[in-house]
Each structure stands twice: as C-alpha cells, then as structure tokens.
Structure 1
Amino acid sequence: MNFSESFFLNTILLITTILILAIPCCTCTSLNTITPDQPLKDGDVLVSTRNTFALGFFSPSNSNNRYIGIWYNKVPQQTVVWVANRDNPLINDTSGVLTVNGQGGLILHGRNRNSPLWSANVSVHNTNTSMAKLLNVGNLVLLDQNNTAQNLIWQSFDHPTDTMLPFMKLGLNRVSGLDWVLTSWKSKDDPGTGNYTCLIDPNGYPQFFLNLGRVPKWRGGPWTGLRWSGVPEMAPPKFILNVSFVNDPDQVIITYGILNDSIFSRMMVDESGTVHRSTWQDGARQWVEFWSAPSEWCDNYGRCGPNGYCDPSDASKFECTCLPGFQPGSPRNWELRDASGGCVRKRDAHVCGNGEGFVKIAHAKLPDTSVARVEMGLSLRACEQVCLKDCNCTAYTSANESRDGDGCLTWHGDLVDMRTYSGAGQDLYVRVDAITLDYNQLFSYTR
C-alpha cells in the first residue's frame, strides 16, 4: 500500500470515528414494569401498554427540581396528572431512583439510599413477587404477583394530587376513612401541596366543594341524579363522560367513565383556585376548556348572603335579590351593593298555621345542603306536605331529578349560596307567608 492509499484510508477512518462519537448516546430506557431487579432511574420512563401515559422524572418550567410524575404520553404539551414526591423533590439532582425495596414496597431515593424521599408506605410478605406497572388509565399500581393472580397492594388513584382522571374516585370511604381529594399545586413551577382542595363534603346531603384551606370558595352543590347542582354544563346529552355517583352507608363517591377512550379528558384544580374540566384537541394542539368554576361573581360562595340569591342575567342591575317573603338585612349596605349580610324574613310575616305556602324559584342552584334533610322514596307532592307540616321547614325540592322527582330534600333554617341559571337548574320551593303567596300567585297570573 503506497503513501496516498494509506493516507486516504486513515482519513476515512478518522472521519468515521468522529461521526460515531458525534452521535448522542441515549441512556433513556423504556420500561414495562418496575421490580427489585429493574428500577426506574432518572431518564427512564415507565409506559402504559397502549403508550397513553408515561411515568418518569420531570422538572416543571423554571425549576431544576426533580419529581416523579405521570403525564400523557401522546400529548405533545407535557401535562402532568400525578406527582409522587410533590413536597420532597430532588434539588438540582438527577440521581433519583424509583424501585421496589426489600420489603416489597415502592420507594424513591436519591444518593442517600437510607433516607427515602417518598414511599408508597406498604410492605408484603413475599418481596420477590412485587412489581409496579402503569395502567392505561394512568393509574400506577403496585402488585403482588404469584402463580395464579395479581393482588393489588397500592395504587396512585387512591392518592390523587391536583387532577382527576376518568375512572378515578372523588369522595370518601366511610368504612376505611380513605378520602379522595384533589389539592392544587403551590404554583406552576412548584407541584407542592397548595391551598385549594376539591372534595365531597359528606355532611347533611353530600355536595361538591372547592375550598381555600377550610373556607368554601365555590360550591358545586349536591348530586341531583344527573349532575352537580352547580355545574349545569354536565347536563346530558352534551356531557362526554358517563358519571356514576354512589351515596350509601359505606361510601360517598363520584367516578367518571370516558365514553370514547380516544378522548383525553381531565378535571383539575389549579394554583389560582379554579376547577377546570378540559379535553385535548389534536387539531388545535391544546387543552380546550369544557367548563370551569368559579367563573363569575355568582359562583363565589355565599355571594348574596343568607336567604338571598344571585341572578347574573341583567348586568345593569345588582345581581343579588332577596327570596320571596324576605327583605335586605341592611338596606343601606344593599344599596351599596354589599349583600354579605343577606336577607331576613319580612316583619309581621307569619309562616306557621296562617295560610302560608310555597313560591317556586325556577332554574336554581340548590342552597347549601350541609344541614339539609333527605328522605328518599317520597314524591314531590308528599315532600310539600312534609315541609308544610313543619313550621321550621323553609324550603323543599326533589332529591333526584332523574327519576321523576324522587326523594324529598328539605331545609330548616337559612338558605345559603343560591343562584339561578338561564336554562338549567332545579325548581326550589320556598316557604312564604299568605300575603306573599297571594301576591306571587296574582303576579304569575297577570304575567
């Protein structure tokens, strides 16, 4: 081989070597399961069978902290739906490992393996058969696998963060005490436990709340048989989800089943204290809002005080109005558009054994049912008689509007956090004195 041939071959070899070295080396591994022998390291991802969801390490925008989270794998805009170590991140550290430990539990640790950053806080007898996998619905499960079956040890669906996915539960197990609650992030850059929570309050007649700390900010109201009283957008046939609500001695829960599994839909509470229901649209390449709350003044809890209701239909008028038979508790404050003091029964109004009756408030969001009473199996007519015989009963309505008005829901005190809608809502019947009853009947007739 002469000099020119040798030089040419060496040059080709050098160029080839440079090109090979220039190709980035990806250490990212896609896993199907996490086991004691196969942990998930920073850079790896655990994917569901249909590649719908992925679990791995991530950093929010404007943050170098590392978290273990679940996100939509088919949505180009990373949308995190669950975070494990939300209050204990790895700070500027990519040494994190999620693994099944010697007790068969699921733990996350950094460089110090003796001090876990997060754990599923469970243990099993046979540690060699534990494995974690990500289901197609976005649920991370820890399983005890034997020759005949897979037993569920732990699941992320029992520990939601800020997002409710289809087939998750929201509510309370009255037997075990397990509470399924959504809690906002601290900020867009910090998934730590925030100030806002979405929950079902089991007191009285259970209802959906958004709280700031322990203070109600917005109330979705009780379940009407078709929807939450304060979420008219859920009314069929427009709604895209199949909803199941259960209220029995063992539990009070709501779950949503997606009618079309090609649709990605989620409900979440954000750091500003707003609940959103949105769906992903591939064409627009963005999340499109289906409904949100609170979205207007009338959505704020107790906007018009006790025995007042909010009507946003006429922007030129004060949105607060006293219920029939009531008057502002402070006329001066009312003139200043401060309705926080609410309304009181009109003077000399007798509502017990003096020809009293009920006036219908149409298209209403039902009042707070925290201390309301319910008796299922009664018709609306029977419910009226029950309320009429009790002088302390201030209002009544049907408990379930999906079954021809089945069930009797009654209030026995102030009516709080009411509003009306233009084309949705229920009929609420408010107790009034004989004079107010005659006036409303005459007004309805002449109108």
Structure 2
Amino acid sequence: MVTVRWLLRTLLVFHLLHFSTSVDTITSTQSIKDGDLIVSIGKIFALGFFSPGNSMKRYVGIWYYQVSEPTIVWVANRDNPVNDTSGILSINTHGNLALFGSNETFPVWSTNIPVTSAKNTVAQLLDSGNLILLRNDTNKLLWQSFDYPTHTLLPFMKLGLNRRTGLNRELTAWKSADDPGTGNFSYRIDPTGFPQLSLYKGTTKWWRSGSWTGQRWSGVPEMTSNYIFNVTFVNNQDEASIVYAVTKPSVTTRMIVNESGFVQRFTWSNADRRWIGFWSAPKEQCDYYGHCGASSNCDPYHEDKFECTCLPGFEPKSPDEWYLRDGSGGCKRKREMSTCQKGEGFVKVARVKIPDTNVTRVEMSYDLKACEEECLKNCSCLGYTSAYGESKGGIGCLTYYGYLIDTRTYTNAGQDLYVRVDAAELALYAKKGSLRKKTILAIGIVSSVATILLLAFAYWLFRRKRADKARDAKNIEFSLTSSLTHFDDSISVKEPDGSRSNFDLPMFQLSTIVAATNNFSPDRKLGEGGFGSVYKVLSSGLLIS
C-alpha cells in the first residue's frame, strides 16, 4: 500500500523537476504559478512551489536543480504558507516581488521595499542560489535573498551584522522537517566585545565557535590550511561578517542549522548520490556552552577524570556537586581579590578555546607584553590573551572583565589564556613549575645514564660473543690437527692400481676440512677414539681415510 509520505515525496520530486523554460527571471509580465519553475542560467538552482515532508501547505523556495535528493536552501514565505495550489509569485504594482494566494488583494509574502513602479524591476535567480531584485534600467540591486537566509548558508553568502543599517544576516532552523517556519535555534555573529559566532536555543547560548584567531574560529580546529574554503572575516566600523568561498567550483556544499540544535556542513557526492557529513557542532560535552560553569576549563581528553577543572586561583563553588561530576555551578576565587594587591601576576592556560569574548576590551595595537601590563594595572581585569593568537606570535590584545566562561582545552589547537592570580597562587604555580622542571631534568639524567649503561652492556656482550667464537674456532682447529697428527700412521693413499702407499701427514686449513667432511656430517663419520672423531673425506679424487 502506498504511504502518504511516499506519495508526498514523489509529488515534491515531481514539482522540483517540473519542466520549465530556461527563463531565470520574473518580470511584471512574466509571473510563475504553482507548478512552474524558474531556473538559474547555469541550471544550478531552481525556484518554485513545494510542500515539505508530510505537509500539504505550499511554500516558495529555492533548491538545487541537478541534485537528485530534494534539498531546499531558502524559503520565502516560511511563516506564512499558502493552504492550496492557488499561489502566484509576481512583480506587483509597486515593483516588489510578492506572493499571492487565493486572496489576491493582500500578498502572503513580499520583498517590501520602497519601489515606485513594476516597470522598473525584475527578479532574477543566480547560479549562486541568490534571488535578486533589480532595477532593469540601471541594474541597481534593490533586494536579495542572501540578506534574508533561512536555515542554509551557501558559498559566497555573507553571515553577520551590517553595523550601519542594522541588518543581521543569521541562520534559523526549521521548526521540523514538515514545517520550514522559524524554529528555536539560530546561528549568528555576536558583535559585542570581540566578534564570534554563536548558536542559540531561543535566547540562550547553546554553542560558541570562539573568536576569530586570524586564520580560523578558535573553537573550530578543523579549519586547517587545507580547508576547502577561502574564508574572509571582516570586523570594522561598518560590519562584522564572515564569507566562505569554495576553493573548487566543482564542490557542492552547504551549511545548515537543524531543528535538533546542530550546525552541520555537508558536501554532495556524485558517486554516492547523497549528502556527506563534513563537519558538525556541538560534538561533545565540552562543546556545549558553559558546560563547566564560570571560571572553569573543560578538558575532554581525561578518560578517567572529571572533564571540569577550575582555572588557576579558583576552586569549585560546590565541592559536593563537583564530586558528583556536575560542574555547572562553576568555580569561585580561593581568596577574594577586590583590589590590586602586591605580587599579583598571571598563570598561563595553554591550548584553549578562549572564554566568551562578549566581556572583553579590544586593543589591536598592543602586543602580548603591553596586553599584560594593561590588564595588571586595572584591578577589575581577570585575564588577557592575544586577539589573533595564531598570527606571528600574537596580534592585538583582549582583556577580560566580569567573568571567564566557556573555556575548553584542545590537544593541537587553541590559544594561550593568561589568568590573573594573587601572590600566593602565583608562588604555588611557580613552585609547581620548578618541581616540574626538576622532575623533567631528573628523568632526563636517569634516562641518559640508563641508555649509556645499556649501550655499554650491549658492546661488552658483543665483544664477548666474538671472543667466544674465535676461541671455539681455534679449539676445533687444534683438535682436528692433533687428531690427524696422532693418527698419521693410519692414513694411506689408495693408488689407482689398488696398492697403498704411506706418506707424511700434510696440514689442512679448517675451512678445507669442513668442506671435505660436509660440515662434519654424521654420514661421513668413520668412528672415534681417544683423540677424537675420524671422518672420511674426498679430495682431488683420492680417498683419504
């Protein structure tokens, strides 16, 4: 029996692959109705009507035209569906792109920009997946779908805040697979302090990419030099934004925020005819925002140890909860540091995603030494780090005020964070460092001595084996020579005529005798007496016995 889901999916595929002309535009005289498509000039993307999942409601969306798995990348009327197939997308009398349902008086959705005449505007679908509205007489851009993304980020699409206009381009998850309406999870750039990308569940931070290090997001160690993108990060008085440009145009890739609260990157495999997961976050407990609470560090690499540890100078707020492996309460100061005190300093916490940068002050002209001095002279400063920690030893200065939260350790990535501590704590860490150095030195000395002794023993053993072999060889030669000398009367040569004649015993090299006796083979042995064994040998055709 044919299921409703299968039937609806079949209908969706039919609509996505519905025949259309090569027209990639909508004009005042060329609209599209439910069942029609416009296709980008390179046949990369298509725009038309669709119904998601089990829903019967109709939406205008953009999807990949040649990808066999129906994949929606943008939805116009995500929160205002059309309840039947009466929808028409057209340029209205005011020059806006508008979607009308059965009620043709008021649009279900519109670009809603101040345009005076329909004659001056045209909508076009580009091969990038961007739907744009232009003045057809000047080609001036009036509106674009890339400024109003839904749950998908395409290559060359900008994500971030325009500080001049207030436009904040962010991704927002669907409510469900059946409903593309605005969901509970959103992914956007936080411009406060030092900009960073964050995933939100409602108004609560869910995961944080970390700040921009100059090469990548500090919380995304997968962004290496052989990453598939050329990434452009902009942070100035006009905007804070990020753009991912693919290095190979043949790569089909997209990033989404799904309804379960994950940011995911996919690439299309032509061989497998499916989307392959390339990257996803959050992955583990330490990725979730503030998993260990304030003033702590999350280290996921301890197999038999609680992942939460307090930062230098701090201790658990609730030791009982900490003992039960619940670090959400965070840590508190061991000793209050309300005013600047003599002897204060900083302890380095290496290879971390630095704490939330919303509470930082930025001074890009400072190096790391000036950053330390700036923090030390301000009694409210909790710590500091480089703004771009991976660029030429560190560029710029971030100083922290208020709290330190969402710090986590990496094995081969991250930045160095310097946490402010009092004199007592600084002395403790200095002692630990001294003991650590002494321990390392002691281990090095012991290892070196052990290596030397081992080599010396191996050399002595080698010399001894060589001496034993030489002595054994001499003993064998002496034994054979003695045996042959004492039994010289018993050795004769059989002449060809059968007669025998005695002769003086010759001397032989040991190697000659070994060869002649087939390495003293038992089948050559004639017997043995008080002076050793007697062997039969063949030499120059003469039988010697």
**SS across alignment from 1:160:** coil
In the alignment, what sits opposite 1:230? Answer: 219
Indicate how the Cα distance of structure 1 residues 443 and 281 shifts in structure 2: closer, same or farther if over 3 A, else same. Answer: farther
Indicate how the Cα distance of structure 1 residues 112 and 336 shifts in structure 2: closer, same or farther if over 3 A, else same. Answer: same
Q: CA deviation at 1:275?
A: 0.6
**Sequence identity percentage:** 55
In the alignment, what sits opposite 1:120? Answer: 111
**SS across alignment from 2:222:** helix
- Tell me the alpha carbon deviations over residues 264-318 of structure 1, each in whole angstroms, 9 at most, x when there is no partner: 1111100011111221121222222222111111111110111111111023211
Q: Are 2:170 and 1:181 equivalent residues in the alignment? A: yes
Q: Are 2:344 and 1:394 equivalent residues in the alignment? A: no
Q: Are 2:355 and 1:363 equivalent residues in the alignment? A: no
In the alignment, what sits opposite 1:4? Answer: none
Which amino acid in structure 2 is aligned with residue 273 of structure 1? G
Structure 2: gaps spanning 5 or more residues: 1-13, 441-545
CA contact (8 A) 2:158 2:242 kept: yes
Once residues 405 and 296 of structure 2 are traced to their aligned partners in structure 1, the CA distance between those partners, rounded to angstroms, is 7
- Equivalent residue in structure 1 for 2:90, among 85, 99, 116: 99
CA contact (8 A) 1:351 1:431 kept: no
**SS across alignment from 2:357:** coil
Structure 1 range deviating more: 106-115 or 186-195: 106-115
In the alignment, what sits opposite 1:16? Answer: none
In the alignment, what sits opposite 1:58? Answer: 50
- Equivalent residue in structure 1 for 2:299, among 292, 298, 311: 311
**SS across alignment from 2:261:** coil
Indicate how the Cα distance of structure 1 residues 359 and 444 shifts in structure 2: closer, same or farther if over 3 A, else same. Answer: farther
- Equivalent residue in structure 2 for 1:166, among 155, 164, 169: 155
Name the Cα RMSD after superposition: 1.9
- Equivalent residue in structure 2 for 1:239, among 206, 223, 227: 227
CA contact (8 A) 2:348 2:418 kept: yes
**SS across alignment from 2:207:** strand
- Equivalent residue in structure 1 for 2:82, among 69, 81, 90: 90
Once residues 432 and 375 of structure 2 are traced to their aligned partners in structure 1, the CA distance between those partners, rounded to angstroms, is 19
Q: Are 2:205 and 1:216 equivalent residues in the alignment? A: yes
Once residues 295 and 18 of structure 2 are traced to their aligned partners in structure 1, the CA distance between those partners, rounded to angstroms, is 64
Q: CA deviation at 1:350?
A: 9.5
Q: CA deviation at 1:378?
A: 1.2
CA contact (8 A) 1:72 1:80 kept: yes
**SS across alignment from 1:292:** strand
CA contact (8 A) 1:324 1:436 kept: no
Once residues 189 and 420 of structure 1 are traced to their aligned partners in structure 2, the CA distance between those partners, rounded to angstroms, is 38
Q: CA deviation at 1:389?
A: 2.4
In the alignment, what sits opposite 2:139? Answer: 150
In the alignment, what sits opposite 2:20? Answer: 29
TM-score by length of 2: 0.74
Which amino acid in structure 2 is aligned with residue 226 of structure 1? Q
Structure 1: gaps spanning 5 or more residues: 1-23
Indicate how the Cα distance of structure 1 residues 71 and 331 shifts in structure 2: closer, same or farther if over 3 A, else same. Answer: same
Q: CA deviation at 1:349?
A: 7.5
- Equivalent residue in structure 2 for 1:129, among 113, 117, 120: 120
Q: CA deviation at 1:440?
A: 3.7
In the alignment, what sits opposite 2:189? Answer: 200
Which amino acid in structure 2 is aligned with residue 131 of structure 1? V
In the alignment, what sits opposite 1:384? Answer: 372
**SS across alignment from 2:381:** coil
Which amino acid in structure 2 is aligned with residue 41 of structure 1? K
Once residues 301 and 82 of structure 1 are traced to their aligned partners in structure 2, the CA distance between those partners, rounded to angstroms, is 28
Once residues 369 and 69 of structure 2 are traced to their aligned partners in structure 1, the CA distance between those partners, rounded to angstroms, is 53
Indicate how the Cα distance of structure 1 residues 61 and 350 shifts in structure 2: closer, same or farther if over 3 A, else same. Answer: closer
Once residues 267 and 287 of structure 1 are traced to their aligned partners in structure 2, the CA distance between those partners, rounded to angstroms, is 11
Once residues 27 and 426 of structure 1 are traced to their aligned partners in structure 2, the CA distance between those partners, rounded to angstroms, is 52
Q: CA deviation at 1:27?
A: 8.0
In the alignment, what sits opposite 2:130? Answer: 139
Once residues 356 and 130 of structure 2 are traced to their aligned partners in structure 1, the CA distance between those partners, rounded to angstroms, is 33
Q: How many residues align?
A: 419
Once residues 202 and 411 of structure 2 are traced to their aligned partners in structure 1, the CA distance between those partners, rounded to angstroms, is 31
